[in-house]
Chains A and B, each alone.
Chain A
Amino acid sequence: MRKSLLLVTAFLISFAGTPSKSADLTLCWAAWDPANALVELSKDFEEQSGHNMSFEFVPWPNFADRMLNELNSGGKLCDLMIGDSQWIGGSAEAGHYVKLNDFFDAEGITMDDFIPATVTGYAEWPKGTPNYWALPAFGDVVGWTYRKDWFERPELQAEYKDKYGRDLGVPQTLAELKDVAEFFQGREIDGKTVYGAAIYTERGSEGITMGVTNALYNYGFEYGNPDSPYELEGFVNSDGAVKGLEYYKELYDCCTPPGSSDWYMSESIDAFRSGLVALQMNFAFIWPGVHADPNVGGDRSGYFPNPAGPGGHFAQLGGQGISVVSYSGEQDAALEYIKWFAQEEVQKKWWELGGYSALRAVVEDPGFVTSQPYAQTFLDSMAIVKDFWAEPAYASLLLAMQDRVHKFVIAGQGTAQEALDGLVEDWIEVFEDEGKL
């Protein structure tokens, strides 16, 4: 009797000790280097939680199409979504994402622990209100990479100083950046013709917008009247904005490689890594890969934030937050992942693996700026970010901008003023359709 009682007790204890049912979680994101780092990082989560992680990574040009279709159709493929920052409004309003406020409160996760720009950019909707739909997952921003080894060549330094009257170094303003790019354009270096800069010109998804905004913001472009939302006239097409757009076209015309009329992240990386360009505009996520590259890595490359312009000093925000998809059948396990991901030690490892942590405890650590050669540039850049619209109609707003800007910058159709006036008309039409005007 005693023996059987013991057996029953052992049986019950073994059940009581079993962790909650293991779940199969699918995390959806773009197919890029940080995604591989996340796969590596998530192995710890699998080990600790007993859940199985699967990943659905889609290349950037198709990422928005594929994932927004998935969300709009109420698909159950993704339990966790690392969606682009601009999706937050639409996904929150359409009920694609689970609101995380109660979860954050219950688990003691506070947004004060994250870089403020990433909270606003990746987690909040409506902007500026404490309504959170994501946890900042990957901080990213447009910055510049340059060929430090070329810049350090004495003969090039001397020639540059003769021509421009200043040292060949990291450009402090957009005008200086254009001079540097012009200086390298068509130059023979080590028997090879090289060009000034690889910049974003892509038309199909978001490329040229993510590029041109780095010039527009710094010449005075604003998305609207800060005191009167959706008042666009005179802000989107201000004199400064027109000059900014003209600057970007001049940069494209004077200083980019032939055939770069439809370039985005991957084409710019390829151009830089193959030694075709002296400067490269790109999101910060590429910096770990550049640093490790056998051809251009190590001391051969340097990094700097988007230079200032006459109207200010800003850089285009990239990056994403991680959200729980409301159609997921594994929401509890998905929330468990977010809780695990928000931990300081996990975030530290995330940074070590090549992921840009948005946790202040990581980036404000005294050792952070010296941990990688691009760490300081990342911090400096994150301090000057500005983002595109995150409205539910962001896709229509983005496509209108893509069309107008690409037609002017790449195809040379019309004037900068006409392009921005047309953009104002397009955006007003979108907001009218949305019932916001």
Chain B
Amino acid sequence: MKVSPLEKAAEATPQKLGRSIRGLSDRAIAWIFVTPTILLLLAINIFPLIWTIRLSFTNYRANRPNADIKFIGLRNYERILTDSDIWQTMQATAHFLFWTLLLQVVIGFALAWLINRKFKGTGLWTTIIVLPMMLSPAVVGNFWTFLYQPQIGLFNYLISFLTTIDPSSFTMIGEVSLAPWAIVIVDTWMWTPFVMLICLAGLRSIPDYIYEAAECDRASSWRQFWTITIPMVLPFLMLAVLFRGIENFKMFDLVVLLTGGGPGSTTELTSINLKREAFEKWRTGYASAYAVILFVTIFGLASIYVKALNKVKDR
């Protein structure tokens, strides 16, 4: 008689163990599998969150482990919401978010649209375009710091070549009016390919027959673009905006390497400011309250956005 592998495995299982597993309900077995994950989640996500909320009502400083911890109610929240410096960093973050998202969506979509036209060397061009996003932010930050150097930087020489302005007459990362744009340019250079790839996936998911039907109805290219391409790519675009929005809201490394948050605090984004409060000034309680406010803000905005995304997808 031929014995199947399943039967072999059943025979190999000790009877006692087999009986004990057989005695468990499906739900119990499911719990056995899920419990480690839940415990891990509680340990590394939920517990720190609850602990952060608790600390946000205290004057705790992590560099004074032996000092008394005082409960100070909503004082930290009050300080943060009335601090003009915090609002300035919020403004800097909003400027960075708005312009990077806008430029990346516009340029990314345009590049995807061009690549989607399938010309000779499409693969090569796609590879070249996506190169920046494969680089480490540390490399990109240092690399662009050199490009922006007024004495030797290629960026200044390029602008000088195009406009005849003296290359050493302006400093992209050292001037209040230019520094916010300097970080927008670098982030756009680095992450537009990511948006392009998502848009490309969207464009390639549109069946050809829809365009063929539109052509039979004598719809112009412009009309096809607005009534077929854009609506069908929109969920992909919105997804790209969500990913980039979340990433850029917590942007840290690239900006620290480029400007360090300066000059003044013109490019000090919220994540940089939060890090300074928590790990340089060691105002742990204050920084916890700050983190809670940011968490609630991002969570609220992301929830609204995901609802809108679902609506677009269901349309």
- List residues of A whose CB falls within 8 A of some B CB: 65, 68-69, 72, 90, 94-95, 193, 202-204, 257-262, 276, 392, 395-396, 399, 403, 406-407, 410-413, 433
Contact = CB atoms under 8 A, between A and B. Distances in A.
Given A94-B66, A399-B280, A261 B262 contact: yes
Interface string B252-264: 0000100111111
B165 to A, nearest CB: 12
Interface string B233-271: 000000000000000000000001001111111100000
Given A90-B63, A261-B174, 13 more contacts: A69-B279, A94-B65, A193-B168, A203-B260, A258-B168, A258-B171, A259-B148, A259-B174, A261-B173, A396-B282, A411-B262, A411-B265, A413-B264
Given A94-B63, A193-B168, A258-B169, A411 B151 contact: no
B281 interface: yes
A276 B152 CA distance: 12
B64 interface: yes
A262 B63 contact: no
Nearest to B286: A433
Chain A contact residues: over half helix, strand or loop, or mixed?
Answer: loop
14 contacts: A65-B279, A72-B63, A72-B282, A94-B64, A193-B168, A258-B171, A259-B171, A261-B262, A262-B262, A399-B280, A403-B265, A406-B262, A412-B176, A413-B264
A55 B62 CA distance: 27
B108 interface: no
A411 B180 CA distance: 12
Given A94-B64, A399-B280, A433-B59, A407 B261 contact: no
Interface centre among A259, A396, A406 (most CB of B within 10 A): A259
A256 to B, nearest CB: 10
Interface residues of B, number: 34
A90 B67 CA distance: 12
B280 A262 contact: no
Identify the 3 closest CB pairs spanning chains A and B, nearest first. Answer: A411-B264, A261-B174, A258-B150
B263 A261 contact: yes
B174 A258 contact: yes
B85 to A, nearest CB: 8
Contact of B266 (A204, A259, A396, A411): A411
Interface centre among B171, B259, B260, B264 (most CB of A within 10 A): B264
Contacts of A257: 150-151
Given A65-B280, A260-B174, A406 B264 contact: yes
B281 A399 contact: yes
A280 to B, nearest CB: 16
Contacts of B171: 258-259, 261
Contacts of B264: 406-407, 410-413
A94 B150 CA distance: 45
A202 B260 CA distance: 9
B276 interface: yes
B149 interface: yes
B283 interface: yes
Nearest to A202: B260
Contact of A396 (B150, B175, B281): B281
Interface in B176-215: 176
Contacts of A90: 63
B152 to A, nearest CB: 10
B60 to A, nearest CB: 11
Contacts of B259: 262
A259 B149 contact: yes
B260 A407 contact: no
Nearest to B261: A203
Nearest to B283: A396
A367 B205 CA distance: 83
Contacts of A260: 174
